[in-house]
Structure 1
């Protein structure tokens, strides 16, 4: 199983962006720690020098399994479900602008809070219609580019639009695109899913990417989640992608990154050892 961490390519207000700041330094630190991938959080791809970024990633021997897009919501307010149609269209165009970058790195494009939140005066039904329409548009463009999109069910305290795996699977059916799946995050699942393992089994091949954080949003091993059981079930679904750390940089970013690696590697070695045995 391949391990990665979230690294922001641009400054952000998002507290759980574990590695933020100088990109070259952070990617080098990840490599030195022993990670094989870097999930890149990118607000605006037009501000990214792709040849330089590609050369850096290649030099360090890192994969880019996924591209996070939530900063467009956090920092700019772009949303698929904004009442203003120009904002909705700008959000759609922003996701489409990620596709060449994602195609280059063979990365999944994450649909997080750019889906938006329900605003006063808008009905849930209307917001969901806007969301479905935007996702159909983006999924078609992504399919043409050979890219997969992964929507993240997010807990109820951050949005009321797609909180659970079951709701995410219903949305997949409504969008109707094979390249549209889910990103599952253990922090959000701990809040919303009665039994995390059962929810993983519900998704199976529609799990396109996977985030880990413990129940307190610190690195795995800092809270009460049963990661041996969770990861064993994840692997049993056939998932073979990256396990990507997205958690608070506490007590500090370097300690959090090292603890994540030290905690998860023995668990995964044991799971794979039992499978091969």
Structure 2
């Protein structure tokens, strides 16, 4: 397995001013850096691939859907825009040489309906994701679908719902992304939910119950380890923390306070925690 750190602690749109953060991750001994690629053109991200190379880091990429690019939308025009968006995000991931594009790629974040989405919305999302997965396969990028908690999304909240969407889409280049923060809210057990998705588990993010420094919240880390071992997972394990003051993210993710002393503290404590936890 390889250990990374997600840059959403600083920004939703990486800029050259974040070069020092990337360099710091290399100094701390991480294997990789996870970059949000929700905006921008593929060529823009080539500079960050060079920065990562200089720091001795590989890259992974994350993104999400917006109301204008929602694969589950009843509107055919929005679904076409969603496919175009996913393809362009795959291109950005490819520019970073990322093996994955991860996140809630299947529906718009923080868009709720009453009654909640039904089977038709899931099938529409599956159709778009199947086409996007075919495109991504040609770029050697796997799409990994992240269930979010009930306060952030409706269509996919649990691992079983993510597996159902992967099953309906029926494409080998589609996988499941497990985030311990969301699973802490929605799953009965990390151990059993990770074991259930073993065959389609493509990416893991370790995130605390309060989104702060790993090991200082309520996530049952022993159960996470049990589940990862049961799943025989050997892919990317990425630390993810959120803080206040990040435009377009802090309010959306309901992060109203910092559960850490400093961002550098979060980074510097994450890798030793992950290595000790997983015996790596």
> Which range, TM-score by smaller chain?
0.7 to 0.9
Give TM-score, length-normalised by structure 2. 0.83
Residue 7 of structure 1 contacts residue 38 of structure 1 at CA under 8 Å; is this kept in 2? Answer: yes
Instruction: Report the Cα offset of residue 123 of structure 1.
Output: 4.9
Residue 177 (str. 1) matches residue 171 (str. 2): yes
Q: Which residue, 140, 153, 161 being the options, matches 1:159?
A: 153
Deviation readout 1:172-199 (Å, 9 max, x if unpaired): 1111111101000001101111111100
- Matched with 1:267 is 277
Give, in whole Å, the separation in 2 of the partners of 1:12 and 1:128: 27
How many residue pairs were aligned?
A: 261
Deviates more, 1:193-202 or 1:105-114: 105-114
1:221 to 2:215 alignment = yes
Note if contact 2:156-2:162 (Cα within 8 Å) is conserved in structure 1. Answer: yes
Residue 3 in structure 1 maps to residue 3 in structure 2: yes
2:35 alignment partner, one of 25, 40, 57: 40
Q: Is the 8 A contact 2:105 2:145 kept in 1?
A: no
Structure 1 length-normalised TM: 0.84
User: Residue 88 of structure 2: which of 81, 87, 97 is its match?
Assistant: 97
In the other structure, the counterpart of 1:257 is: 267
**Does the aligned pair in 2 maintain the 1:9–1:41 contact within 8 Å?**
no
Larger proportion of helix: 1
Structure 1 residues 51 and 192: CA distance shift in structure 2, 3 A: closer
CA-atom RMSD in angstroms: 2.6
2-structure distance, mates of 1:11, 1:267: 27
How much has 1:167 moved relative to structure 2?
Answer: 1.1
Q: Which residue number corresponds to residue 56 of structure 2?
A: 61
Distance verdict in 2 for CA 1:122–1:85, change over 3 Å: farther
2:122 aligned with 1:112 = no
Q: Alpha carbons of 1:151 and 1:265: their partners in 2 closer, same or farther (altered >3 Å)? A: same
SS at match of 1:22: helix
Q: Separation in 2 of the partners of 1:193 and 1:120?
A: 23
Could you say what secondary structure the match of 1:115 adopts? coil
Deviation string for 1:86-134 (max 9, x for gaps)?
3322221111012234335142011416622444688523322221111
Q: 1:211 aligns with which of 201, 205, 208?
A: 205
* Shift in CA distance, 126/110, structure 1 to aligned 2, threshold 3 Å: same
Q: Which ranges of structure 2 fall in alignment gaps of 5 or more residues?
A: 244-257
Structure 1 unmatched ranges of 5 or more: 14-18, 273-277
Once the two structures are TM-superposed, the CA of residue 83 in structure 1 deviates from its matched residue by 4.3
Distance 1:155 1:9 in 2: 19
